Structures are given as C-alpha cells and as structure tokens.
Amino acid sequence: MLKDFDEAVAKYVRPGSFPLAIRMVREGEELSERTKRSHRDMNIKVAVCQTFSMARRYGWQLAVGEEDINCPLALTAFGFKEELELYDCGAMCAGMFTETKQAGARTEAQVPKFSFKEYKYILAAPVSRADFVPHVYLVYGNSAQIMRLVAAALYKKGGYLTSKFSARLDCADICIETMKSRDPQVILPCYGDRVFGQTGDDEMAISLPVGIEEDLIRGLEGTHRGGIRYPVPAYLQHTPEYPEHYYQMHDAWKEKDKDKK
C-alpha cells in the first residue's frame, strides 16, 4: 500500500519534495541500520521540523529522540522531557507569540501532547523508502497541491476538514494531533519550520493518518476524473479583450477590404 500511495501522490499531486512516512517509536522497538541519527551521525542537535525537512529534501530515513532534539518546546510536546511549570505558565510564549503569560498559558494548554516517555523516537523517511509501518503521512506542497489532497481526502465522506493553527509547534500538529484525532490536518508551517526547516513562503502541508491510503488513492482518482487537476488548468477557450485603440486596426482592415471590392 505504501508504494501505491506514493505513486498516486506523485501522479496526481506532483509535490516538489518527498512525501514522508512518520512513525512514533516506543521503547524496545528496533531502528534499522540505515536509519540516521542527527547527534550520533552528524554531531548536531535539531528541531523536529528540521528533521522532516532533511527527510523530505535529502531522501533520508532519520530517527530523533531526546538526545537529538534541542527544541525545548518539541521535547515537551512529544514527551521526551517532563512538562515544567516554566512551560505551563506561558513564559515561553509571552513577549514573542502572546502579549502576556496568561495568554501564553492558554496557548500552551492547547498544544497537542504525548505523555511523558510514551515514545522514544520520531522516525521519518520518504514513503517510497521507508522500512517501517507509519502512523502518519506528511506531504508539503503549494496551496494548490494541498487543496488537491484535501479534495481527495473528502471524496468518499464529503464535508469539511477541520484544522487548528497557532503559528508555532507545527510538528505537534503534524504528528500528535493527527494521531490522536485520526483525521487529516492541514498544516500552516510555523515560524520555526520556516527558520530551521527552511520551509518556503510558498509551501504548506497536510498530514494524513495511516489507514487513509486506499480512500485517498480512490479520492485522487475520482476527483481527477471529475476535473480537479494539478497543475490547475487555465481556462483558455475565450475571446481576449484588448485596449480600445487596438481595434482601430480591425476598422482599418475593414476599410481596406471595402476598397478592394
């Protein structure tokens, strides 16, 4: 199914970077030998959004855990470190994303979170190269490409997708919210994703829960038959309009034709 999913996204959406498979790895699960670790293999500590960018741009399979990640917000949300009062009180938000600690505390309270030590690693790889069973798929693209995937996700059941946005911690929306809700999430790349993941101003994303593969493939095929395409076709079957003085040429040709007769 991974192969079919990847081929359908490539055919109907044509994203500019690899669609990703993501798995939350528990204590005791083995990582394959070809899985890279940022601290062990590159001697760097990273943000989670940075990890996803490496995987989708380089084609690598990477796993990051407590020893690999240096973003304190992600360490908290993913349960790699204990949640502290310093986080809960809104101090990490205030003065940057919110005016006050009180407003920041409301934001932090709504960040989706895993429980402490629930998982050991975040594992990510291109769908076509993953050697594991994912929990979530992640596709970056421009707004038209993400619209194409939204239409496909709704093809069978109809209705609307509902997503949450806060301009920060999009990694939590991608993994935690999608796994807990079991619903696709449209992802507005957060500030950190743009700074550390170097996600472009023309990019956004969608995360999709495992189990949606067959319906999404049918949705891509069905909406394609219905005329929803990417690249979006321009409507070209019309008569153009020009500046008024251009039509003097047509009048002159008409006069010339009259003279010939």
How high is the pLDDT of residue 259?
Answer: 77
Cβ–Cβ < 8 Å for 140, 204? yes
Nearest-5° Cα angle at 211, 10 to 184: 70
Q: Quick check: is 261 in a domain? A: no
Average pLDDT over residues 120-131: 97
Average pLDDT, the chain: 96
How high is the pLDDT of residue 257?
Answer: 83
User: Residues 165-188: pLDDT tens digits?
Assistant: 999 999 999 999 999 999 999 999
Q: Quick check: is 137 in a domain? A: yes
Measure Cα distances from 106 to 81, 88, 101, 102, 200 in Å.
Answer: 20, 9, 9, 7, 29
Torsion of CA 90, 91, 92, 98, to 10 degrees: 60
Q: Quick check: is 238 in a domain? A: no
CA atoms within 13 A on the CB side of 114: 24
Domains identified in the chain, total number = 1
| Enclosing domain of residue 11 | 2-230
How high is the pLDDT of residue 151?
Answer: 98
Helix 2-12 crosses helix 143-153 at what angle (to 10 degrees)? 130
Q: For the chain, state the CA radius of gyration.
A: 24
Q: Quick check: is 153 in a domain? A: yes
* Confidence check: pLDDT of 111 > 90: yes
Q: Which residues pair with 136 in a beta bridge?
A: 22, 209
Cβ–Cβ < 8 Å for 132, 123? yes
User: Residues 56-73: pLDDT tens digits?
Assistant: 999 999 999 999 999 999
Alpha carbons 14 and 144: distance in angstroms, whole number: 11
Q: Quick check: is 187 in a domain? A: yes
Average pLDDT over residues 236-259: 91
Cβ–Cβ < 8 Å for 20, 48? no
In this prediction, residue 136 has a pLDDT band, given cuts at 50, 70 and 90, of very high
Q: Quick check: is 183 in a domain? A: yes
Q: Quick check: is 237 in a domain? A: no
Q: Quick check: is 68 in a domain? A: yes
In this prediction, residue 21 has a pLDDT band, given cuts at 50, 70 and 90, of very high
Percent of the chain with pLDDT over 70: 100
